[in-house]
Structure 1
Amino acid sequence: MAGRLVNALGSSALAAEAFSDLATLRHMLRFEAALAQAAAEAGLIPKRMAPIIAKACDPALYDPVALADAARHTATLTVPVVKALTDEVAKRDAEAAGYVHWGATSQDVIDTAMVLQLGEALPPLLKELDAIVGAFANLARKHRRTPMLGRTLLQPATPIALGQKIAGWASDISRAARRLEASFKETQVVQFGGASGSLSALSSDKAEPVMVSLAKRLKLELPAAPWFTQRVRVAALAQDAALVVGALAKSARDISLMMQVEVGEAAEPSGPGRGGSSTMPHKRNPVGAALVLSAAGRAPMLAATIVAALPQEHERALGGWQAEWPTLAALIETLASAVQAMDEVAQGLTVDPDAMQANMDATEGAVLAERATFLLAEKLGKQKAGKLVEEALAKGGSFVEALGQLERELSDEMALLGYSPKFVDRLLAELKRK
């Protein structure tokens, strides 16, 4: 993993901690302690051994650098961790050392630690996503009838309500967040299958109670069977994490465009040192949007790597699951960076209705051309109406004045906003139901 300086724009403090060396060791050793306790409870190992093993499961006792170096000789971190744990237990009780990692395999430890790390990292992110949706929903409600230029292909189109744009952001973020929440819950299962998924090292009458106790102690669900090479739950989480980043990036893209000085319709929250330039004091950069868009550039490929690892061989794979853990960690850190950045933006986003009106006025009514065409078509037919509107636009000056007979019809709210305020209501009602 990159250091904090290199990854300053690609993670958050919370996510970086969840996937730190200390956290990784803590969760791997949690598995080993819980396994010893479950095995002792089931009568698989002597009861006095469990607390001895558990006391040695303190991550502070181990050197992450040495463990990482040793892992490259075994293609798994579990082997050096279990060896170091066994040596530490042996210092306390030589007999107890023989019961470390009883019945488990390397992937049991790695997969369960990964699941536990997800359990640490994702719930705060889901809560933060709800806060983003709530902030956007409140802003959309406030601006239900605030007119602004709708833009298609980056050009002025027809007026819309600002609230519809913002409620649209909230809707997609909420939809993606609910998908992520569901796929996250599916990952919260223990991995425990032994060498090839049959728990053959455990007697048949002991396997069930050990599995149940292990899952309970780790506060995880017990799956129907080990999932060593059934990785859809991991890939689904990766895809949904990338979707959340993409949904956040949609709002970031819009906000950054609305922040351009010549547009001036929105602004990220300001503060000492925020958004400044190293050489241009006048600049107020969309830094939150930049962080989200940066994440959107990375997340799809990280998710694709995990999806590409799905075709894993037989009962345990060579290279596939080894590729997942660091990639998933990077993806969740990327997600966390985007969520944190957009939360800061959403809570302090300001909009300028006067600038929006000025931008519409600058078109001299041309944005009402569609509405004018359909009003005229009721009497003249669509072809004649279209030709008349084109001629009025070609004259230059105020389009509304050129079609003076429609000035009243074009100035009412329906002509300006159409059904847009109602769409705001529908989107906000949908959010309440989620």
Structure 2
Amino acid sequence: MASVVDSHIFKDIFGTAAMRNLWSDEARTAYYLEWEVALAKVQAKLNIIPQEACDEIVAKAKLENINFDKLKQQTELIGYPVLGVVQQIVSICRDGLGEWCHWGATTQDVTDSATVMAIRDSFDIIEADLDHIMGSIAQLAEDHRLTPMAGRSNLQQAVPISFGFKMARLLATLQRHKERIGEIRKRALTLEFGGAAGTLATLDDSVALKCQAELARELGLAQPEIAWHTERDRIVEVGAFLAMLCGTLSKNATDIKLMMQTEVGEVSEPYIPHRGSSSTMPNKFNPISCVYIHALAATVRQHSAALMDAMVEDHERSTGPWEIGKLLSFV
């Protein structure tokens, strides 16, 4: 087992199939192929590459044509999978037309853009989950607006509040997080396409920025104001947001754990036979969901801090700090 994410036993406790699929080798490679196809279409439209080459690249740049065992070997040799993907496309295109694939681009253009596309699709899942959670919390706030309980300060009973009030505070916080997603989308969902050092030097001045703009439009991403290969604030902001969101969920889980104590007994997790059972004490009903939420949130905060380290990159293309982000997408 590489991690709990890959564990047959633990994977659905620590994640979901939908999110795992978005960050799988297959999905990542599909994003690479989508990027290369979009580039070929745009460059053919702008007469940068022959239309015949575009048609051949579009026809052959498909996931079913990628040999993943070979890609593994290529990646271990090269260090990155993008060139291996391009090499496989080139090898199956007729008459050398595949040589036009990846024209004017660099590996990090594809890698960063694919990460952004995965973030975009991940945000769709997160927003849907948030809507579901917020709907449930809103109902609890309404149903228990007059249900009295003790407000607590320094773990001591303070003054009376209602459980609905407590839920309304959580709802307001999650609403702010949902607003943050919309704000982050505007900055983070941005194309990377700058070529070797970010200047688009391979393309003619008369068409370079037009190609970039059309590629962004084709992929449904924003056009960057300038290359951002070693300016990692977009990715780091996403990580910081996820740490904040998980922090809020962990705070709520902590409150529920405390409110589930035998001496308090104000709330409980949903009862399912054997849920939260003890191997020693049959009288126990452990707050097991809260326990895992707390553990996951701590891990996300640590990963967010690691992403901050990836901001300290050298010059226009770095010696590797950006790989921290790639590593964290697997754990």
- After TM superposition, the score normalised by the length of structure 1 is 0.71
1:277 positional shift: 4.1
Q: Secondary structure at the match of 1:156?
A: strand
Q: Contact 2:40 / 2:54 at 8 angstroms: preserved in 1?
A: yes
Q: Show the counterpart of 1:86.
A: 90
Identical pairs, percent? 32
Q: Show the counterpart of 2:271.
A: 270
Q: Secondary structure at the match of 1:320?
A: coil
Q: Show the counterpart of 2:323.
A: 322
Larger Rg: 1
Q: Show the counterpart of 2:41.
A: 37
1:137 maps to 2:138: yes
1:286 positional shift: 2.0
Matches within 5 A, 1:275-354: 275-278=276-279, 280-328=281-329, 330=331
Counterpart CA distance in 2 for 1:243 and 1:83 is 41
Q: Secondary structure at the match of 2:265?
A: coil
Letter in 2 for 1:22: E
Can you list the C-alpha shifts for 1:212-236, whole angstroms capped at 9, x where unaligned? 2211211111111221111111111
Q: Show the counterpart of 2:183.
A: 182
Q: What value does the CA root-mean-square deviation take over the aligned residues? A: 1.9
1:37 positional shift: 0.9
1:329 positional shift: 5.6
Letter in 1 for 2:36: E
Q: Show the counterpart of 2:220.
A: 219
Can you list the C-alpha shifts for 1:234-278, whole angstroms capped at 9, x where unaligned? 111110110000001111111122122332111222335543445
Q: Show the counterpart of 1:95.
A: 96
Q: Contact 2:147 / 2:163 at 8 angstroms: preserved in 1?
A: yes
Q: Show the counterpart of 1:127.
A: 128
Q: Of the two structures, which has the highest relative contact order with CA contacts closer than 8 Å and spacing of 6 or more?
A: 1
1:280 positional shift: 4.7
Cα distance, 1:248–1:44 mapped onto 2, change above 3 Å = same
Which of the two has greater helix per residue? 1
Q: Contact 1:133 / 1:171 at 8 angstroms: preserved in 2?
A: no
1:68 positional shift: 3.2
Q: Contact 1:184 / 1:237 at 8 angstroms: preserved in 2?
A: no
Count residues with an aligned counterpart.
327
1:48 maps to 2:52: yes
Q: Contact 2:71 / 2:85 at 8 angstroms: preserved in 1?
A: yes
Letter in 2 for 1:11: G
1:195 maps to 2:192: no
Q: Contact 1:176 / 1:247 at 8 angstroms: preserved in 2?
A: no
1:24 to 28, 31, 45: 28
Q: Secondary structure at the match of 1:48?
A: helix
1:94 positional shift: 2.6
Can you list the C-alpha shifts for 1:165-191, whole angstroms capped at 9, x where unaligned? 211222222223322332133211111
4+ residue segments displaced more than 6 Å: none
Cα distance, 1:60–1:163 mapped onto 2, change above 3 Å = same
Counterpart CA distance in 2 for 1:61 and 1:4 is 28
Q: Contact 1:137 / 1:167 at 8 angstroms: preserved in 2?
A: yes
- Structure 1: any 5+ residue segments left out of the alignment? 331-434
Q: Contact 1:302 / 1:328 at 8 angstroms: preserved in 2?
A: no
Q: Secondary structure at the match of 1:220?
A: coil
Counterpart CA distance in 1 for 2:7 and 2:114 is 22
Can you list the C-alpha shifts for 1:68-122, whole angstroms capped at 9, x where unaligned? 3432332322122222222122xxx132121111110000110011011112211
Greater shift in the superposed pair: 221-230 or 283-292: 283-292
Q: Contact 1:180 / 1:241 at 8 angstroms: preserved in 2?
A: no
Q: Contact 2:112 / 2:192 at 8 angstroms: preserved in 1?
A: yes
Letter in 1 for 2:46: A
Letter in 1 for 2:38: A
Q: Contact 2:123 / 2:181 at 8 angstroms: preserved in 1?
A: no
1:156 positional shift: 2.4
1:281 positional shift: 4.3
Q: Show the counterpart of 1:252.
A: 253
Cα distance, 1:244–1:143 mapped onto 2, change above 3 Å = same
Q: Contact 2:143 / 2:164 at 8 angstroms: preserved in 1?
A: yes
